[in-house]
Amino acid sequence: MTDNNRKKEAAIIVSQEKLADAVYSMWLKAEAALFARPGQFLSMYTNDSSKLLPRPISICEIDKEKKSLRVVYRVTGENTGTEQFSHMKEGDRLFILGPLGNGFPCERAKGKRAFLIGGGIGVPPILELARQTQCEKTQIIVGYRDAQTFLREEFEKSGETYVATEDGSEGVEGNVMDVIREKSLEADIIFACGPTPMLRAVKKYAEENKIECYLSLEERMACGIGACLGCVCQSKDKDAHSNVHNKRICKDGPVFLSTEVEI
């Protein structure tokens, strides 16, 4: 009954580097690493008392031996919490809550041909997923705006990697769906994280081709633990917890079977 053993944790920044315009990579030393799974996220708090809510940031890599987690995040604008994260240095302390959310069901991919799809700032969680899935064929498809294809080299070490860029400067011109069509790729299972229009296209493709598909969704959050009901998505069926057609992205997700959500 007194299972109140979780709390906010002071993580220590191990390293920070800029990967692309407004995209940063940070390694954090934190107990949370011991429990983290691919597709889960951290609630990251700024040290600015005027910014009270945590920023939900997906986990990019997990190193249990070094008790460390990597996050790759985008600075969303001037005077934002993410901008403050980007100014932090090695040795600085940053409060986190996590790991939160359900994560990708990696075990479903075992022995299958998989698409691991990331778009924009939805690319980072695909890296740890690619490391941990034991697919027969790991096909990583990542979409970017332009030639700043952050994490690409790391993906190339983890599986067959295909790149799409909106401006055509690298890989296939267009989006991740254009890669699948152009290269005639096939899969038995799909995992995806990225902007909603991309996820809609992936969901449609998966359902038309009757492929098992998991989508990682995003929404503005407050509590991050399923209490405030700030970050719901619409569910196809009535959800057992909410008793309405809503699921909590932070707690029931962020990863959902494509057929159980309406996006």
Cβ 11 to other proteins shortest distance, Å: 15
208 binds other proteins (CB under 8 A): no
200: phi then psi, degrees, rounded to nearest 5 = -60, -45
Backbone angles phi, psi at 227, to 5 degrees: -95, -40
User: Is there binding between residue 50 and other proteins (CB under 8 A)?
Assistant: yes
* Residues whose CB falls within 8 Å of the CB of residue 144, separated by 6 or more in sequence, listed in order: 120, 123, 150, 163, 164, 165, 166, 170
My answer on whether omega of the bond before 254 falls inside 30° of 0, hence cis, is yes
140 binds other proteins (CB under 8 A): no
Q: Is 194 in the site for other proteins (CB under 8 A)?
A: no
Which residues in 86-99 are b (16+ Cβ under 10 Å) and which e? bebeeeeebbbbbb
Question: Of residues 221, 254, 256, 261, which one binds other proteins by CB under 8 A?
Answer: 221
Stretch that binds other proteins, among 20-28, 124-132, 161-169, 217-225 (CB under 8 A): 217-225
Q: Binding to other proteins by residue 73, rule CB under 8 A? A: no
Q: Which of residues 3-22 bind other proteins (CB under 8 A)?
A: 3-8
Q: Is residue 231 exposed (0-12), middle (13-18) or buried (19+ Cβ within 10 Å)?
A: buried
CA atoms within 13 A on the CB side of 7: 4
Can residue 224 be called a binding residue for other proteins (CB under 8 A)? yes
Q: Are 121 and 231 in contact (CB under 8 A)?
A: no
Among 13, 183, 245, 260, binds other proteins (CB under 8 A): 245
Does position 242 bind other proteins by CB under 8 A?
Answer: yes
Q: Which of 117, 127, 179, 232 binds other proteins (CB under 8 A)?
A: 232
Between the alpha carbon of residue 86 and those of residues 83, 90, 105, 163, the distances in Å are 5, 11, 31, 26
Q: What 3-state class would DSSP assign to 214? A: strand
With contacts defined by CB under 8 A, how many residues of the chain interact with other proteins?
39
Q: Which is nearer to other proteins, 56 or 159 (CB)?
A: 56
Among 9, 160, 170, 219, binds other proteins (CB under 8 A): 219
> CB count, 10 Å around CB of 219?
15
Indicate which single residue of 233, 253, 258, 261 sits in contact with other proteins (rule: CB under 8 A). 233
Residues 92-131 contacting other proteins, CB under 8 A: 97
Stretch that binds other proteins, among 163-171, 177-185, 198-206, 235-243 (CB under 8 A): 235-243
User: Applying CB under 8 A, which residues contact other proteins?
Assistant: 1-8, 45, 49-54, 77, 97, 219-233, 241-246, 251
